[in-house]
Structure 1
Amino acid sequence: MSTSRGPSVRQRRLAAELRRLRERKGLTGDEVAERLAWSTAKVSRIENARTGAKIGDVRRLLDLYEIDGSRRDDLISLAHDAAQRGWWEDYRDLPSELADFIALESEATAVREWGSTVFPGLLQTESYARHVIGGWSDLATLPPQELERRLEVRMRRRELLHKAHPLELSAVLDEAVLQRRIGDQKVMREQLEHLCRMTELPNVTVQILPLDAAHSVLAESFILLEFSPVHDILFPDIVHTESLTISHFADEAVTHMYRLAYSSLADQALDTTESRRRIIEARDAW
């Protein structure tokens, strides 16, 4: 199992800005390497976030690009942030695709999710999540200890909704998700009760797309991650999709299509008040 770790959003922001500053200065990677007595490969690795940029190296680059004042302070601060380890890096047995997704999710400002099969991971109870992850275990033959660690990771991810500046989560769920049994009746009732409580949070919005509503968008489940600027450095929104065998981050060019798909699904879904009523009915039915 691969345990490699992709760059964090902070590392990618820093790398992109350092590349932009070099280009604005009219220098090539080879020229930067020559002036700093580095290899061209080192410059490339830093600018493509394939390696973490050391603070001293960032200072030397900013000196070369003649960046000072508040802009320099912002970039040094970003470099310090980028050097921080994420909590998920303590789980070295996580697949690299899952670790990469958690790294992106942890720095997102907002998440738009279309759920056609199960409840969003950030809204799952421990019992429900155990059965969902256990289903994957049947296919991937995860040992019991690893299954428990995956469950622990999923529960820790939920903290994003309760931190000082919480993640904004908007989800549209196919009504079939409310009726699809995962575990037993107790698990489903507990899950739906938890969902009701979560909809009371100001940063959580849940809409239900009824089975008898017109479905103009027939799409697999997807998650749209949105990022606010940090130190005036932009980072593109990212779409994540998943199948039995593939965890996929869509190209930036197709992100807009998924944004339109989400807007269409939200327009066709019930409003939040009627959605909550539908959730309560499903809970009581279980």
Structure 2
Amino acid sequence: MVSPYVRRQRLATVLRTLREERGLMADELAKRIHYSRTKISRLENAYGRPDVGDVVKILDVLEIPDEQYLSIVRLASAASAKGWWDRYGDTMGARQRLYVDIESGATTIREYNQSAMPGVLQTPDFIGALINLTKAEGPLDFNPKKMTDARLQRMESLFRPGGPTYEVVVDEVVIRRLTVPPEIMKAQLRHVIKTLDNEPQLTLRVLPLRAQLVGTLLPRATFTLYTFPAAEDPPMAVVDTITADLVYTEPREVERYTRRYDYLSQAALSPDDSKRLLIEAAQEPSD
């Protein structure tokens, strides 16, 4: 499946470029089609699912040639498509919904996680333990059961035949600094080991506590890099902050995170040594 989110990004760029090429301000375009300036802004900034009818009106006003017209309408249709995650709405968590949308159309996924086990690798018990920690910070903005169900379906979707390759660098702090009951953590590690054995698309490296980073600083946040099959869809970096996920498609910004990931991957243990570390951690006494 093509990611609707990624298509919305491309559609936004196309619409904004066509308007600017014709020397129109957003306010003027809005007046010509009797829409609000806000509606034009939302379309040109990829906020929300677009209405294909709105896009058609804009194309008519801009007098787009027939050879472009149909391809843009198809792009708008793809941008407005729904995925399996839409039936959950934001009950699965708005942030998880963003990630699963982007993943759905990716060719490669590379992630650095400095504080938690990657969501797509979590077991139900581990998810439950994290939910209990989240409750201590205040009211939840998602439905725990639906979030858990969606995360399990997300794992199934990610590791589907023909799905993206998934590389992840996990900081050893994630394994050593227990934030969940020890037995749940051990079961989580055993699950990751089993997944590594069963899913050839998955590669995991552990960044050891004593790793020597050369040529870069330790990133301040978890981040994920994506590439997509269509040349028109640029690589993307998504940075996980405490309050929001920041999406970057500007080449210079994406390159910064790509370089960071390359340095981290080089400093991390090999996949085989990382797996051995996970096995040892899963076998250590709980005390």
TM-score by length of 1: 0.80
Q: Is the 8 A contact 1:172 1:209 kept in 2?
A: yes
Q: Which amino acid aligns with 1:223?
A: F
SS at 2:111 equivalent: strand
SS in 2 for 1:132: helix
How high is the sequence identity, in percent, across the aligned residues? 31
List 4+ stretches of structure 1 deviating above 6 A.
none
Give yes or no for contact 1:133–1:151 (8 Å, CA) kept in 2.
Answer: no
CA distance in 1, matches of 2:259, 2:85: 31
Q: Is 1:283 matched with 2:282?
A: yes
Q: Are the counterparts in 2 of residues 25 and 65 from structure 1 also a CA contact under 8 Å?
A: no
CA distance in 2, matches of 1:207, 1:195: 12
Q: Do the aligned partners of 1:128 and 1:182 also contact (CA within 8 Å) in 2?
A: no
Query: Residue by residue, what CA displacement relative to the aligned partner does 1:220-243 show, whole Å, maximum 9, x if unpaired?
Result: 44122324264x533451222233
Partner of 2:194: 197
Q: How far does the alpha carbon of each residue in 1:116-136 deviate from its partner, in whole angstroms, 9 at most, with x for none?
A: 222111111111122122211
The residue correspondences of 1:221-232 to structure 2 (distance < 5 A) are: 221-228=221-228, 230=230, 232=231
- Give the match's secondary structure for 2:224: strand
Q: What TM-score results when the alignment is normalised by the length of structure 2?
A: 0.79
Which residue matches 2:218? 218
**Which of 50, 66, 69 in structure 2 is aligned with 1:68?**
66
Q: Kindly state the Cα deviation for residue 248 of structure 1 after the two structures are TM-superposed.
A: 3.6
Rounded to whole Å, the distance in 2 between the matches of 1:284 and 1:272 is 19
Question: What's the offset of the Cα at 1:172?
Answer: 0.9
Are 2:92 and 1:109 equivalent residues in the alignment?
no
- 1:186 partner letter: E
Aligned residue type for 1:80 = S
TM-fit CA distance, 1:171: 0.9
Pick closer, same or farther for the CA change 1:214–1:29 going to 2, 3 Å. closer
Q: How many residues align?
A: 275
The 3 A distance-change label for structure 1 pair 174 and 36 is: closer
Q: 2:137 aligns with which of 131, 136, 139?
A: 139
Do the aligned residues in 1 keep the contact of 2:228 with 2:235 (CA within 8 Å)? Answer: no
Q: What is the Cα deviation at residue 249 of structure 1?
A: 0.7
Tell me how large the CA RMSD over aligned residues is.
Answer: 3.1
Cα deviation digits, residues 53-108 of structure 1 (max 9, x gap): 33233334445443333x54432222112222343333344554554444444444
Which residue is equivalent to 1:242? 241
Preserved contact between residue 164 and residue 201 of structure 2 (Cα < 8 Å): yes
TM-superposed CA distance for 1:161, in Å, is 1.9
> How far apart are the structure 2 equivalents of 1:12 and 1:198?
32
Cα separation, partners in 2 of 1:25 and 1:148, compared to 1, 3 Å = same
Q: Which residue of 2 aligns with 1:46?
A: 43
Conserved in 2, the CA contact under 8 Å of 1:229 and 1:235?
no
Distance, in Å, in 1 between the alignment partners of 2:42 and 2:77 is 18
Indicate the residue corresponding to 1:155 in structure 2: 152
Equivalent residue letter for 1:115: N
**Distance between the aligned counterparts of 2:275 and 2:45, measured in 1?**
45
Other-structure match for 1:83: 80
Contact 2:225-2:258 within 8 A present in 1 as well: no
Task: Summarize the Cα distance change of 1:277–1:140 in structure 2 as closer, same or farther, 3 Å threshold.
Answer: same
Equivalent residues of 1:134, 1:147 under 8 A apart: no
| Alpha-carbon separation, structure 2, partners of 1:77 and 1:207 | 40
Q: 1:16: which partner in 2?
A: 13
| Residues 234/65 of structure 1: CA separation in 2 closer, same or farther (3 Å cut) | farther
